[in-house]
Amino acid sequence: MSGKFITVEGGEGAGKTTQLAFMREVLERAGCRVTSTREPGGTALGEEIRSLLLDHRHDGMALATETLLMFAARAEHLERVIRPALAAGRWVLCDRFTDATYAYQGGGRGLPPERIAILEDWVQGGLRPDLTLVFDVPVAVGLERAGRRGAADRFEREEKVFFERIRAVYLDRARRDPGRCRIVNADRPVEAVRTEVEAILAGWLERG
Ligand code: TMP
């Protein structure tokens, strides 16, 4: 079976990390070879770019800089990790991808989506995820969960309205692209979320 490109999205505290580990397990049990990775990051250079992006020393970074750094890390990630893994028949499970740029830099910070689309076409060519799971929780619930994890990074420090705009963009994009995206209600006990995630993946595995 050829590999698929699966991305996982959601606001802060949506429970992505727990579900990603479970998704890997489900895929491996089905005999898939899986590459788990994340954005921004996933390569040595990309992880350095991630540190720059999340660090409070760079509070007030220009929006163009922030967006270009996201795509710089993505270009590296695509060339060194994602494309080679897919070409080798592996499944790629990626914690955030370009939907996050539309949600955070577009919705959150107000960058026109047309600008993001130009970079998306340039950096990715025709490559888009085959499946995207959007873990959705009310902003207050997500921020409360994320707040328990320790020091807030440059994004986590933002106001609640910033995250409301992010959530709205994620939901809007997912609804407009139902062939690729599934919205998973993550405001439920972890077991219930797992059951739904497993069912979605089972559907995909059956399709081959
Ligand atoms: P996280 O995935 O560990 O939550 O941290 C990554 C942070 O980077 C998160 O706050 C979302 C943000 N981000 C963007 O703003 N744009 C992007 O394109 C990506 C991939 C992440």
Nearest CA owner, ligand 1 atom 15: 104
| Structural domain boundaries, residue 146 | 5-207
13-35 pLDDT tens trace = 999 999 999 999 999 999 999 99
Q: What is the largest CA-CA distance in the chain?
A: 48
Sheet holding 5-10, edge to edge: 34-38, 91-95, 5-10, 131-136, 181-185
Domain with 183 in it: what CATH number? 3.40.50.300
Spacing, Cα 35 to ligand 1 middle (Å): 19
pLDDT tens digit string along 86-118? 999 999 999 999 999 999 999 999 999 999 999
pTM of the model: 0.97
Spell out which residues line ligand 1, taking CB within 6 angstroms: 39-40, 70, 95-96, 100-101, 104-105, 155
Q: What is the pLDDT of residue 1?
A: 58
Q: Which one of 78, 96, 173 would you pick to mutate in the ligand 1 pocket, going by the greatest count of ligand atoms within 8 A of its CB?
A: 96
Count of the separate structural domains present in the chain: 1
